[in-house]
Amino acid sequence: MGGEDRVLAAVDGVLGEAVEFCRELVRVPTVNPPGADYRACAELIGARLSRLGYEVVYVPAEGLPEHTAEHPRVNVLGALDFGRPGPTVHFNGHIDVVPPGEGWTRPPFGGVAEGGRIYGRGTADMKAGIAAMVYAVEALRRAGYPIPGRIEQSGTVDEESGGFAGVAYLCRKGLLRAGRTDYVVVTEPLDPDRVCIGHRGVYWFEVTARGRVAHGSMPHLGVNAIELMGLFIDRLRRELKPRLAGRKTALPVVPEAARRPTLNVNGIVGGQTQTDTLPTPCVADVCRAVFDRRFIPEETVAEVRREVEDILLEIKAEVKGFDYQWRDLMVVEPVVTDASSPLVRAFVQAVKQIYGYEGALVASPGTYDHKHVRRLGGIEHCIAYGPGRLELAHQPDEYVEIEDLRRAMGVLALGLINLWQGE
């Protein structure tokens, strides 16, 4: 049996353990918000890594406001040094999951294995990815492959809310940085036959329209802030959205529609506090809305902001009494790893070895922790690759196919071999 065959046989041999580990992870309801059970999940991962021979440390996000006694932000980092010359490869997966929502036909935190699938919130995004990265390396070890350099595995928090207490914290503490870490693989769900090389940018902003309160029976004495916000939203819809629809990036963002910039109204609240049975009999004097603008590498942050400001100023000039406040909530620029990166080439080749066809290069429509790896860690070579399928993330009855888990572990293992052989 050749070396590659031995490794893939070892992948098959550890599949059952990977499945059970994924199910255990899903049963820990690490819902964000608020950031529940992070410590328990970090300790579950840490115990597994320790059992497999890793040196394990826990990294609480001390000093950050989100790290509280009730909901501590605890990351886990395991390392194996093989004593041979070679690079440090860091695997990362986030442990937090979005709330389950409605519409489930199976328990969202049951980790049910049925019909060749594992069901539960976080299976695709991305606890199957954590199981895959741990057991892909374990398969190489059990196959007797002479692993060079150092392998690191991290389970981190808060990716769904920006990752500032997770991967960003590891980067700021020097645990994930250029000069210490050579390659990073984030096991996010972008489909197991595709290699993700980056993501679009994001600009979250809040606009507050301010009016003047008055009795609801005499609205002519007030200025309705909800109506003012309606003017702004309508102007975005009629003027900005058509402009965005006319732009398209060369970056291979999936799905195809996400190759264009997008704008979404994420939330809106206005007026006085409502009772259970009656509306407030007042003209709304304040209305706040949060907006989600995704932008492409061909756009700049300055241009994105200017388009918003121009519309606000236009309305202010046209409409008497239009008063507003505008503030940034989060700004993330697009990141892209060059297709010529040895890490990218190694995993494209590995996809072909497992699937029989070339692995497609894609980019994510939303951000993930690649942004921190590049901007804060200064690490050039980073990809996302994992067993989950993009369209299942955040859905009711979220699941991962066990066959996808098996194949993804094969890609991860062979991707490492290709990378080492190309060094």
Q: What's the pLDDT at 280? A: 74
CATH of the domain at 236: 3.30.70.360
Judged against a pLDDT cut of 60, whether residue 380 lies above it is answered with yes
Own/partner contacts of 44-47, CB < 8 Å, gap of 24 or more, are: 45/76, 45/78, 45/95, 45/130, 45/134, 45/153, 45/155, 46/76, 46/78, 46/155
Q: What's the pLDDT at 2? A: 65
Q: Render pLDDT for 131-162 as a digit per residue (tens, 0 to 9).
A: 999 999 999 999 999 999 999 999 999 999 99
Q: What's the pLDDT at 253? A: 97
Confidence tier at 3 by pLDDT (50, 70, 90): confident
**CB 148, CB 84: distance < 8 Å:** yes
Judged against a pLDDT cut of 90, whether residue 276 lies above it is answered with no
Q: Are strands 150-156 and 88-94 parallel, antiparallel or unpaired?
A: parallel
- Same domain (yes/no): 356, 389: yes
- Same domain (yes/no): 317, 404: no
Higher pLDDT, 129 or 274: 129
Q: Determine the residue type at 212.
A: R
Return the percentage of the chain with pLDDT > 70, whole number.
98
User: Of 303, 332, 361, which residue constitutes the final position of a domain?
Assistant: 332
Q: Render pLDDT for 8-66 as a digit per residue (tens, 0 to 9).
A: 999 999 999 999 999 999 999 999 999 999 999 999 999 999 999 999 999 999 999 99
Q: What's the pLDDT at 274? A: 67
Q: What are phi and psi of 108, to 5 degrees?
A: -65, -20
Instruction: Name the one residue in this structure whose structure tokens are 């005499």.
Output: 218
* Mean local confidence (pLDDT), 388-406: 98
- How far CA 119 is from CA of 96, 301, 397, 402, in Å, comes to 16, 39, 6, 10
Q: How many domains does the chain have?
A: 2
- Same domain (yes/no): 60, 169: yes
Distance, CA of 22 to CA of 120 (rounded, Å): 10
Residue 11: Cβ-neighbour burial (10 angstroms; 0-12, 13-18, 19+): buried
| Cβ neighbour number for residue 384 with a 10 Å cutoff | 28
The whole domain housing 134 covers 3-199+334-422
Judged against a pLDDT cut of 60, whether residue 1 lies above it is answered with no
* Mean local confidence (pLDDT), 407-420: 99
Return the percentage of the chain with pLDDT > 90, whole number.
92
Judged against a pLDDT cut of 90, whether residue 244 lies above it is answered with yes
Judged against a pLDDT cut of 90, whether residue 213 lies above it is answered with no
Higher pLDDT, 279 or 4: 4
**CB 193, CB 261: distance < 8 Å:** no
- Same domain (yes/no): 321, 230: yes
- Same domain (yes/no): 16, 123: yes
Q: Render pLDDT for 306-348 as a digit per residue (tens, 0 to 9).
A: 999 999 999 999 998 899 999 999 999 999 999 999 999 999 9
Residue 296: Cβ-neighbour burial (10 angstroms; 0-12, 13-18, 19+): buried
Confidence tier at 271 by pLDDT (50, 70, 90): confident
- How far CA 164 is from CA of 1, 170, 203, 330, 394, in Å, comes to 46, 9, 16, 11, 21
**CA count, 13 A, side-chain hemisphere, 420:** 20
User: Of 298, 313, 332, which residue constitutes the final position of a domain?
Assistant: 332
Confidence tier at 275 by pLDDT (50, 70, 90): low
The phi-psi region of residue 394 (left if phi > 0; otherwise alpha if psi is between -120 and 50; otherwise beta) is left
- Same domain (yes/no): 225, 338: no
- Same domain (yes/no): 349, 232: no
Instruction: Name the one residue in this structure whose structure tokens are 């509306």.
Output: 279
Higher pLDDT, 211 or 306: 306
User: Of 284, 303, 332, which residue constitutes the final position of a domain?
Assistant: 332
pTM of the full predicted structure?
A: 0.93
CATH of the domain at 188: 3.40.630.10
- Same domain (yes/no): 190, 68: yes
Q: What's the pLDDT at 423? A: 80
Q: Are strands 286-295 and 117-119 parallel, antiparallel or unpaired?
A: unpaired
Q: What's the pLDDT at 178? A: 98
Which secondary-structure segment (H or E) carries 354? helix 342-355
- How far CA 353 is from CA of 146, 185, 216, 310, 350, in Å, comes to 20, 18, 69, 51, 5
- Same domain (yes/no): 309, 348: no
* Mean local confidence (pLDDT), 352-379: 97
- How far CA 420 is from CA of 113, 182, 199, 214, in Å, comes to 35, 12, 26, 71
Confidence tier at 281 by pLDDT (50, 70, 90): confident
- Same domain (yes/no): 183, 215: no
